Structures are given as C-alpha cells and as structure tokens.
Amino acid sequence: MKKIFTLISLSSSLIWLSSCSKGSAFEGYAKADNGLYYKFYKHDENGEKPKIGYGVAFKFVIKTQAKDSVIVDSKNVSQDGTGITKFLLQKSSFQGSLEDGLLMMAKNDSASFIISADSFYFKTQNLKELPKGIAPGSYLNATIVLKDFFSQKQIEEMQAKQMEEQRVKMKEFEAKDSVDFAKYLSENKIKTKANPSGLIYIETKKGDGKHPSATDVVKVHYTGTLMDGKKFDSSVDRGQPAEFPLNQVIAGWTEGIQLMSKGGKAKLIIPSKLGYGPQGMGQTIPPFSTLIFEVELLDFKPAPPQPAAQPGAQQQQHSAGDGHNH
C-alpha cells in the first residue's frame, strides 16, 4: 500500500522560464525573521498551525517571480486529480523556505511566498544544477492554500484504517473467488481432479513427442479469461504467437505447459495462488482471481545461455502475454 504522505517531487523536465529580482524587497510582501517574504490573502492568526513531522495537504502554484510565468500547478501533478498535494512537513531545507511558509499557515489560509530559486532547487529539490531557463540568483513565487494538516498520531490512525479496509477488501475478493470457482466447475461440468498444486489440467488435443522442461523457451497461442468469461488477453486475437522462457511466467503456466506436447492443446484452470494472488494484475485481473487459459503448444526449444545475474537482481514473473495486458 502506498504511504499517505510522500515528498513532493517537481519535474525538472518542464521548460522553465528565467526570473530575476532587481532588489531585496518585494512590494506588498512582509519579511519574516528567517528572511522569507510572504503575503497572506486569508489568514487566521490565532488558528492552529502545523508542526514539523505533521502531514500537510495543500494546493500550490509556483511561478517565476519577475515574469509571473507558471512553472508548475498542483492541479496538473496531483495523483488523484484534486490538485491537492500531501507530504510530511520536514525541517526547513534553508532559511526562508516553503517549509517555513507552511509553518506560518492555519487551515484554509492562503498566501504567497517569494523564495530563492537557487536554494529551492539545490536544497529542497536536491538537484545538482538549475533547471533550464532558471538564472542563478533568481526568485520564485509560490502561492499556497493550506487545505488540512494531520498530526503523526492522526496519520498512523489513517494508515491503520486504510490497511484494515484493504484487508477486508482482500478477504471479500478471496471469498468471492472461492464461491465463483465452485460455481464455474459445476456449471461447466468439470470433474477433472486438480493436481496437488491446485492446477486443473484438461487436455483437449493430444500432442506428439516430448514435453518441454521448465527451462525451455516455448511458443504458444493462448486465450485467457476470468471465470465470468471476460477475456483479458489473447495471442490468437493479436494474430501473433507468444514466445517466452517457461520459468519466467506464473507458476500455473510453468506447471501446466510442461504437461503438454508439441501440437497439443489444453485448458488450464489456474487458482490465484498459482497466478497473481492477492495483488492481481493492473485493471484487468482482480486480486484472488482464478484464471482460465486455452493453450496450444506450437513449439519449444532449449533456452539460450544466459549471462550471470547481477547481485540483487530479481526475476520478474509474467503470464504468457509478456508485454501485453498482463
């Protein structure tokens, strides 16, 4: 599960426009003791303020100070489309930083802050050089609306609630798959006994010759569906057979295709523990999904020698349609 609050990351790949200040004072702005220039549009002076370590939720627009050109707007970078950015409020990265500005704000306050571009990019963003178009010694103007903030205790409670909701949701997926599995076998009059692993292998056309080994590269045509008949992937529809090392796919494929011979066809009923388990796969395969594959083994061959794996490298698991829907 993703953490509720993450550090904001502003893309340096955007085209930035330069700005420069012709003086040390900015009209309409007050100067705090830490050197931060600020101007409040709405301010609750007596309202509670966030503290270091709190989670803050706010909207922002950052512009060049001199030319008033938009650099980044939170409505264009927020993950949920609300325009609200969330992160843990850290100790100020420099005197007169945006962190200092947020510490001055109460809930629903709005204000503008003028900050050093050099300090923002080098100290807050930890960049090695200024983005293209930003001149050394220039300034940025950040307009912020503080929507909400949360103590560390509140964050922990929110995370615990999300984890519990996720756990309940996973149990519901698991229970539904179990019911649907029994219903699928009954409605399709499938009486084939499952392998010890849980895989149900049904041969629909006998092949000839040897069986592939787990390390072979196989060439297959296949169609994958969920138990409700919804198709999520098909090499047949693409008109292009899939070719892949048999030990680099989901466990149900590795086991099932080793039972086939060249030219053979089979139906693989793969329980979720041999497929994508509790995580599912993107938007196409829900968590705890039993997968149904119609497979034709066109050919197989020994895998070519592989270079030694780099330390820490992890093997990725795919189903047959590597590079496609899942």
**Catalytic residue selected from 60, 120, 139, 293:** 293
- The set of long-range contacts for 232-237, using a CB threshold of 8 Å and a minimum separation of 24, is 232/284, 232/285, 232/325, 232/326, 233/284, 233/319, 233/320, 233/321, 233/324, 233/325, 233/326, 234/321, 235/320, 235/321
Rounded Cα–Cα distance for residues 30 and 25 (Å): 9
Is 202 considered catalytic here? no
Residue-by-residue DSSP string for 225-281: EETTS-EEEEHHHHT--EEEEGGGB-HHHHHHHTT--BT-EEEEEE-GGGTTGGG-B
Could you tell me which of 131, 30, 28 has the C-alpha nearest to residue 71? 131
Q: Which of 250, 257, 285, 292 is catalytic?
A: 250
Radius of gyration, alpha carbons of the chain: 29
Q: Catalytic: which of 120, 276, 288, 300?
A: 276
Tell me which of 222, 244, 288, 300 is the catalytic residue: 222
Find the catalytic residue in 232, 244, 288, 300.
232
Cβ–Cβ < 8 Å for 98, 50:
no
40 included as an active-site residue: no
At residue 162, φ and ψ (nearest 5 deg) are -65, -40
The catalytic position among 233, 257, 285, 292 is 233
**Could you confirm whether 228 is annotated as catalytic?**
no
Which whole-number Å values give the CA distances from 138 to 3, 60, 61, 63, 131, in the listed order? 34, 19, 17, 12, 12
Active site residue 250: yes
In sequence order, which ranges of the chain are alpha helices (DSSP H)?
74-77, 98-103, 117-119, 152-187, 235-238, 251-257
Is residue 87 part of the annotated active site? The answer reads no
Q: Is 26 a catalytic residue?
A: no
- For the annotated catalytic residues, the residue numbers are 222, 232-233, 250, 276, 293
